[in-house]
Chains A and B, each alone.
Chain A
Amino acid sequence: MTAPASAPSAPSFWLRARKQKRFAFGMGLTLLVVAFALFAPFFAPYGENETAGPPYSPDGFFGTDYIGQDVLSRLMYGGVGVLVVAVLATVLGMVLGVLIGVVAAYAGGWWDEIIMRLNDVLLAFPQILLALVVLTAVQNPAPWVIVLLIGVSHAPRVARLARGVALGIVSRDFVAAAEALGEKRSRVIMAEVLPNMVGPLLAEAGLRLTYSIAVVAGLGFLGFAADPGAANWGQMIYENGLGLATQPWAVLAPVLMIAVFTIATNLMADGLAQLSQKEDSR
């Protein structure tokens, strides 16, 4: 009632997001980890598969690993693979999931029922299971296979959320107004529904990225990395697990990188979620 008659010019979502401490901190940390993964290989003291000394020796910053490779160098090389696969898988999962969820919400009725019940069946499988089943069958999987598997396993989870968010929007009158004008269904979804879902979807994307990292690292740990010889944070944990007592850094360093990145992306996701909630209550 007492709200001012005109809202003052609203700064863009992005500007307001940057002002939020939680988001800004998470974003900064994420960028640091990404920068490390991208640029560190240029400064690595040793090559990716170069032997730097005897196995599990304390030589160098983090010592050497199970076959005498320099852990710091492996750490520097091992980020890109994990991050690229995780980001691509997240993008794929988001696109597929949002598409399924929004179409289900917008179509409604029987279509909604059928799509979402099928979705529920997929949801019943643990996320890593699908990847494991396929990877045990395929010899030397290409990176894109892993991207595809993780992306597809994200889709039903994203779809659930996307449908929930979309349901609140498709019932609003501006969607009915577009219907009454006879807009194409695809345009109603793209121009009317999706732009109003940006906040929650961004938050979900942040969360999904975290899960992707966990799955990629997990697959590496289980020995299903795309290239068994290449450095990979997840695989490093697996490879050096035996020497945990003598050379803990060979395991702890990649664990820490994954942990920091996970916390950072989660902070970002939380920040965005809070922000989009604030938007809705305005």
Chain B
Amino acid sequence: MTAPTRDVPHTGTPGSGLVVESLGVTLTGRPVDVVDDIDLVLRPGEVIGLVGESGSGKTTVGTSLLGYSRAGAFISSGKVLIEGRDVLAMPWREVRQLRGEEIAYMPQDPASALNPSIRIGKQIVELLELRGIGTAASRLQGARDGLAEVGLPNDDEFLKRYAHQLSGGQVQRVALAMAFLPKPKVLVLDEPTTGLDVTTQRMVLDTMAELCRTHGVSALYVTHDLAVVANIADRVAVMYAGQIAELGPRDTVFSNPLHPYTRALLDSIPHLSQARALKGIPGRTPAPGARPEGCRFNDRCAFAIDQCRQQVPALRAVASDHEVRCIRAEEIGTWDIHRGTVPDAAPDRTRDVILSVEGLNVFYGRTQVVHDVTFDLAKGEVVALVGESGSGKTTISRSVGGLHKDWTGTLSFEGRELANSARQRIAEDRRRIQYIFQNPYLSLNPRLTIEQIIKRPMELFGIAKGKQATDRVLELMDQVALGPTMLTYQASRLSGGERQRVAIARALAAEPDVIVCDEITSALDVSVQGSIVALLDGLRRERGISMLFVTHNLALVRSIAVRVEILQQGRVVEAGSVVQVMETPREEYTRKLLSNSPRVD
């Protein structure tokens, strides 16, 4: 019973927590590992942050703890031990019993995990019934207690609600309550706060951390967001291409990261306290089956030597509790979290206003969603619109871009007034103001080739055509770091980051003076975000392009913008230079946003 846990170091109480030993998941079709060689110990009451980019296999590891793998893959090797029992060797009946009861799982989108046609109270009672907890009489009270624990109201009115009558954060907390009610020993959370705004995210994370501590539950928190991990995790495991690249206590990993990949990741995230020159990681995460020989990071690593390409590095302990999968960990020098910081953009240089918005009111039908918003944008300047979801930031940007036409107020471009919709504006104005969308999976026509997509604005505005246009397309692709071979690819073949680059190239093809960027990095990995921000910053400096940058990420604002407008429910509550607003916020709302934002620095 205790034999498997005995040889594992660092285990607190023997027989508690969870131990993963050399876990491997393989594709069913071909002998290709999705993840392999995963060793992890979850101590009781401990939160481990499992961080990685898309395609690193972090979700695969997360679901493996429940003995589950997605269709098309299977768990091919290893053990998952809970109190000495191997989850992977159990008969399926026991696994079924164990899922939820001993190891709970909280999916990426808990909203879709709640049944939309059953009232919240009934759903929780049903869960208790299924798990055989309590008696028929005590279950309703159990449901109330569970809701109270996650800080939700538990009166009859709330119990009678349906999932769609709750806010996003409430749904997440109901899911959290349901995960905790059967008193599991281990909790696997798969990006449960992606898509929530910072305030709600903070609330959910705090609730989770507190419950883990009071109930002694070990949690595996799967995420791509290093900043979140920095706030809640006790230990951090960084995954790359199906393996753990670095594993250690949170403070150690953030202050002294030893794997070049961890460092590159940290270099790509913005800080709240100071502007940084963000850097991306060149290349992209290799897919299973296409991973390089030797160290899997060698083709993107700045420190790679021949040995890295030949020898597969093992995860080795460099300090107590700190393990790294890099043969050169000791040779690559020290690291500082503040590396790459640059002076904040100087706000008080002379401003040459190119676009100004005055008294903007925007409507959706009879509802007014933006109230009397006034701001302006100078040449070569980045102004950020920041706010929680529903604050109207995207609505404003769409009105400026002429995509939403139901608004009143004055929008002037170089002193000329702009019409409401893009169609009513003159071609020259349409050309000079370009819009980049949030979701690159929706903003490119999947049936067109990259060449057709980037070439179109040139043809439309008579900038270039034929061979000349193709040459310019290649030039632009080079500028946004896309290889010339992608010219004939259809957009559906590209990754998210590559698609967003195509979208940027399309905007640049029109040779604009103003680019409206609507949360353009929120759907992307941090390393990709870093390189996109670096790219935009370069464009701003070289071409003097002005940008209206819509985001909910205040740290990103610090690194890219000069001025910021803080929005709350369709009104500007605070505006000014980024340094001033972020260093000395006047409004309570701004302070709340700042303190709720996850930070790594």
Contact = CB atoms under 8 A, between A and B. Distances in A.
Contact of A182 (B108, B290, B439, B460): B460
A182 B422 contact: yes
Given A180-B430, A182-B460, A196-B445, A10 B492 contact: yes
A192 B445 contact: yes
Main secondary structure of the interface of B (DSSP, over half): loop
A10 B438 CA distance: 25
A142 to B, nearest CB: 39
Nearest to B445: A174
Interface string B411-439: 00000000000110101001000110111
B70 interface: yes
A5 B445 contact: no
A196 B191 CA distance: 32
B329 interface: no
Interface string B40-52: 0000000000000
B403 A6 contact: no
A2 B445 contact: no
Q: Count chain B CB atoms within 10 A of each CB in A4, A174, A192 and give the residue with the most.
A: A174
Nearest to A175: B445
A9 interface: yes
A181 interface: yes
B494 A173 contact: no
Interface string B486-528: 0000101111000000000010001000000000000000000
A120 interface: no
B287 to A, nearest CB: 3
Interface string A241-264: 000000000000000000000000
B70 A9 contact: no
B403 A2 contact: no
Contacts of A7: 492-493
Contacts of A172: 442-443
A173 B285 contact: no
Given A2-B34, A2-B55, A181 B456 contact: yes
A15 interface: no
A46 B190 CA distance: 74
Interface string B88-103: 0000000000000000
B249 interface: no
Contacts of B85: none
B512 to A, nearest CB: 11
Interface string A149-162: 00000000000000
A180 B403 contact: yes
Contacts of A196: 445-447
A6 B495 contact: yes
A181 B460 contact: yes
Contact of A1 (B59, B288, B438, B439): B59
Given A180-B403, A181-B460, A174 B58 contact: no
B403 A179 contact: yes
A174 B403 CA distance: 12
B266 interface: no
B457 interface: yes
Contacts of A173: 437-439, 442-443
Contacts of B437: 173, 176-177
A10 B490 contact: yes
B495 A5 contact: yes
A221 to B, nearest CB: 42
A105 B305 CA distance: 58
B380 interface: no
A182 B108 CA distance: 38
B510 A181 contact: yes
Nearest to A198: B447
Q: Count chain B CB atoms within 10 A of each CB in A2, A9, A196 and give the residue with the most.
A: A2
A113 interface: no
Contacts of A183: 456, 460
Contacts of A192: 445
Nearest to B434: A180
A6 B287 contact: yes
A3 interface: yes
A195 interface: yes
B54 A5 contact: yes
A2 B427 CA distance: 43
A5 B510 contact: no
Contact of A177 (B190, B286, B435): B435
A3 B401 contact: no
A5 B430 contact: no
A172 B441 CA distance: 9
Interface in B365-424: 401-403, 422-423
B442 A174 contact: yes
B119 interface: no
B285 A5 contact: yes
B336 to A, nearest CB: 30
Given A2-B70, A4-B287, A177 B443 contact: yes
A49 B64 CA distance: 74
B286 A5 contact: yes
A180 B438 CA distance: 15
A108 to B, nearest CB: 12
A253 to B, nearest CB: 44
B57 interface: yes
A191 B285 CA distance: 33
B284 interface: yes
Contact of A3 (B55, B284, B492): B55
Contacts of A179: 403, 422-423
A166 B355 CA distance: 35
B380 to A, nearest CB: 22
Contacts of A6: 284, 287, 493-495
Contact of A10 (B287, B401, B493): B493
Interface string B273-313: 00000000000111110100000000000000000000000
Given A179-B422, A192-B445, A195-B447, A5 B287 contact: yes
B444 interface: yes
B55 A4 contact: yes
A196 B54 CA distance: 27
Contacts of B430: 180-182
Contacts of B285: 5
B268 interface: no
Contact of B445 (A4, A181, A195, A282): A195
B492 A2 contact: no
Contacts of B490: 10
Nearest to B438: A173
Given A174-B443, A180-B435, A4 B460 contact: no
A2 B446 CA distance: 21
A180 B401 contact: yes
B510 to A, nearest CB: 7
Contacts of B510: 181
A191 B448 CA distance: 9
Given A2-B34, A5-B54, A182-B460, 8 more contacts: A1-B59, A2-B60, A5-B495, A172-B443, A177-B437, A179-B403, A181-B460, A191-B445
Counting from the closest, the 3 A-B pairs by CB-CB distance are A4-B287, A173-B443, A1-B59
30 contacts: A1-B54, A1-B58, A1-B59, A1-B108, A1-B190, A2-B34, A2-B57, A2-B59, A2-B70, A5-B54, A5-B285, A7-B492, A7-B493, A10-B493, A173-B437, A173-B439, A173-B443, A174-B442, A174-B444, A176-B403, A176-B435, A176-B443, A179-B403, A180-B401, A180-B435, A182-B422, A182-B423, A191-B445, A192-B445, A282-B492
